[in-house]
A and B are shown apart, each in its own frame.
Chain A
Amino acid sequence: MQQARKLPSVNRVPSPAQPGGAPGISREPGKRLKKAKLLGIMAACFILSLVVVAQYSSLVVLNYQLSSARSELNSVRESSRITEIEAARLGSLDRIESIAREELGMVEPGMEQLNTISASQRVESEPSISTSQRVDPENNRPGE
């Protein structure tokens, strides 16, 4: 650590060649220490204020980020709402039925194409069910 340089004796009269000298200024070690403490405190205050300002500035930046994130969240929420409605619209049973009938040419099976089986029969003759219910895609009639 650097040591303070020893100063000349007190009450020394400055020569005219040293303008700006401080006649009468106390050069006692106690006072110098006091002055150094004062300067130290001032420096600390300055640094502290810089820290505060830096934090404040960081807070502002964070706040801008928060504001931007909130806006993005709202936008995503809105987009989610639109998507939910669109999904519901696309999945509506009317639309599905209309596509099935008009675009895919699907028709409801006629009574002659349906075989109702009892629960007991289903258990006993499981494999035959698919055969009896098979529908010929060509003419929509049960396969023979």
Chain B
Amino acid sequence: MAEFTVSRATVRRRLIVIFILTVLAVFLLISRLAWIQIVRAEEFYEQAWDQWNHNVLVKTARGNIYDRSERLLAGSVAVETVAAIPQQVDDHEAVAEALSPVLDLEARRLEELMSMDRSAVYLKRKVEPEVAEAVREMNIPGIVFFNEEQRDYPGGNLASQALGFVGMDQGLAGLESYYEDYLSSSEKQLLFPADGHGRQLPHDFTRNTEPKGSYDLHLSIDQSIQHIIEKELDRVMEEAAPEQAMALAVDPHTGAVLGAAARPDYNPEAYDDYDPEQWTLPPFTSSFEPGSTFKMVTLAAAMEEGLFEPEETINCTGHVTINGQRINCWTADRGGHGEISFYEAVGGSCNPAFIEIGKELGKEKLLHYIEGFGFGEPTGVDYPGESSGLIFDAEQLGELELAATSFGQGISVTPVQQVMALSAMINGGYLYKPYLVEEVRGQEDGTLLKREPELRRQVVSGETSQDLIKMMESVVLEGTGTAADIDGYRVAGKTGTAEKLDEEGNYMDDQFVYSMLGFAPVEDPRMVLYVAVNGVTRGPRYGSHTSHPAFRRIMEDTLNYLQVSPDKEDKNDNEEESE
């Protein structure tokens, strides 16, 4: 076997060549690396970003709404939206035909949507889970799903007018609309490098756009009181078939709204099926002539000014004539109240007596107190579309207008104005601002806003307040409000029967708004309640058969619910004791 020998020089040459080639290769690699990493770094970075980054829209959930005891009134659940990526759908016509019955949309409309020059189009938003599942099972290329959320009201119609509702993307009525900025969900765009499965890779270029957090609303409304109110309004609707019935309950010491409702109402999950007028909350948005409940304002003004003499008498003949205009008392049919004291006139709701009191006060003083109690301007309750009502100004207030205003005619006020005025009359004279939301709390950030009772002004003195309470108790004990009396509790208040106006502005003979405005227990009032029944069409047409019993039942159930101890000796007990 021949020996093959290579000289050392050859080996050295070869080594040198290999070394040079290696160095050259390394140099070329380094140069290329430098070209990529330094010269074209930015360009490649952008390209890499486009390839690797995963763009995810993370939606924060819309804030929930709770009652004062943390019971859920409105929440949100995830639902799916069916969308199409037009470029990926092979046969628009065939796909539209296939999807039409499932999505309950016309095939032509679907085809139009899929023919749009967009990267993706919604075919049907927020579909039922069964619909999404049916579409998913069809496995059509180019048909995709997006997650969205849908508002859910677990109580159904309960407090629907206070809560409002949410359209496709935002609150459109009630508190959902008023507090949209706090409640609304927002989109957070999360950009990060991801692998083929979309899982985030640990690189340093994650980019976030921080979303605004959504907040929960904690209301002053109590779900149980709200339920009691609505149950009674339903009963009134069934028994008296009125055009409208409404109630408002407020804590007189803070202005916190405990319950507010009206009938007819609506279902917020199917709001489109109802008349938009039913979406609003009439105790805040409607104003009408208050009738006799407004007499308490005149009485408060006279008492505060020292012009009310309870023992002084007046002869009520059933009517008075002012500037040629005859103004009737509600007792006109039976010739009036006759000779009565002003104390009795309050219990008997005598119009001529209050006209006399108004005349004594004069227009400046009466207007001063009317405005002082907050009439003629919005109360500032946190609800959209609050009405300010309408009162006369000093120039408009002639003798006739002064007389009408004294017993609650010729002006228009809202139930919430009346309730807040009565609250001031019984809490020592302090007028508070009413509110529905007690707290705005972040889902992650904690409390953002905690409402404290907001005092607007003191209207009457504590002494006048105590006198007014006594007068109002007499109305329930021996006056026009006996139907509102409750066994075991001392109740006080004022009844009202307001004539309704027709379209031409004339009073209608047979159409009235019956109302009851009162509170209980007298010693330590827990709730001021207003109940109004508008346009009764069935059964007896009296407040004592409509609004007053509804008031009594709501107040009685609420006091029981609040576990308020009875503060009145039962009549039967007294009888037994006397025997």
Are A88 and B155 within 8 A (Cβ)?
yes
Are B77 and A81 within 8 A (Cβ)?
yes
Are B565 and A116 within 8 A (Cβ)?
no
A64 to chain B, nearest CB (A): 5
Of A64, A89, A116, A121, which is within 8 A of B487 by CB? A116
Stretch of B102-110, B195-203, B384-392 lying at the A interface: B195-203
B336 to chain A, nearest CB (A): 35
Q: Mark B560-579, 1 if CB is under 8 A from A, else 0.
A: 00000110011011000000
Known: A84-B72, A118-B573. A94 touches B152 (CB 8 A): no
Q: Which residue of A lies closest to B77 (CB)?
A: A82
With a cutoff of 8 Å between Cβ atoms, the chain B residues found around residue A121 in the complex are 573
Q: Mark A39-59, 1 if CB is under 8 A from B, else 0.
A: 000000000000000001001
Of A67, A78, A94, which is within 8 A of B158 by CB? A94
- By secondary structure, the B interface counts as loop
Q: How far is the CA of A84 from the CA of B72 in the complex (A)?
A: 8
A95 to chain B, nearest CB (A): 9
A119 interfacial contact with B, CB 8 Å: yes
A85 interfacial contact with B, CB 8 Å: yes
Are B202 and A59 within 8 A (Cβ)?
yes
Known: A93-B223, A94-B227. A88 touches B71 (CB 8 A): yes
Q: In B3-50, which residues have CB < 8 Å from any A CB?
A: 5-6, 8
With a cutoff of 8 Å between Cβ atoms, the chain B residues found around residue A84 in the complex are 64, 72, 75
With a cutoff of 8 Å between Cβ atoms, the chain B residues found around residue A63 in the complex are 199-202
Are A78 and B78 within 8 A (Cβ)?
yes
Q: How far is the CA of A89 from the CA of B231 in the complex (A)?
A: 17
Of A19, A23, A116, which is within 8 A of B566 by CB? A116
With a cutoff of 8 Å between Cβ atoms, the chain A residues found around residue B569 in the complex are 118
Known: A60-B201, A81-B61, A119-B565. A92 touches B75 (CB 8 A): no
Q: How far is the CA of A86 from the CA of B570 in the complex (A)?
A: 43
Q: How large is the interface on A (under 10, 10 to 19, 20 to 34, 35 or more residues)?
A: 20 to 34
Are A92 and B155 within 8 A (Cβ)?
yes
B283 to chain A, nearest CB (A): 21
Q: Which residue of B lies closest to A74 (CB)?
A: B58
A16 interfacial contact with B, CB 8 Å: yes
Q: Which residue of A lies closest to B156 (CB)?
A: A94
Q: Mark B504-526, 1 if CB is under 8 A from A, else 0.
A: 00000000000000000000000
Q: How far is the CA of A30 from the CA of B224 in the complex (A)?
A: 94
With a cutoff of 8 Å between Cβ atoms, the chain A residues found around residue B570 in the complex are 116-118
Q: In B197-254, which residues have CB < 8 Å from any A CB?
A: 199-202, 223-224, 227, 231
B529 to chain A, nearest CB (A): 19
Q: How far is the CA of A63 from the CA of B197 in the complex (A)?
A: 13
B522 to chain A, nearest CB (A): 15
With a cutoff of 8 Å between Cβ atoms, the chain A residues found around residue B61 in the complex are 81
Q: Report which B residues bind A (CB closer than 8 A).
A: 5-6, 8, 61, 64, 71-73, 75-78, 152, 154-156, 158, 199-202, 223-224, 227, 231, 487-488, 565-566, 569-570, 572-573
11 A-B pairs (CB sep. < 8 Å): A19-B6, A60-B202, A67-B199, A78-B78, A85-B77, A85-B154, A88-B75, A94-B156, A116-B566, A117-B573, A118-B566
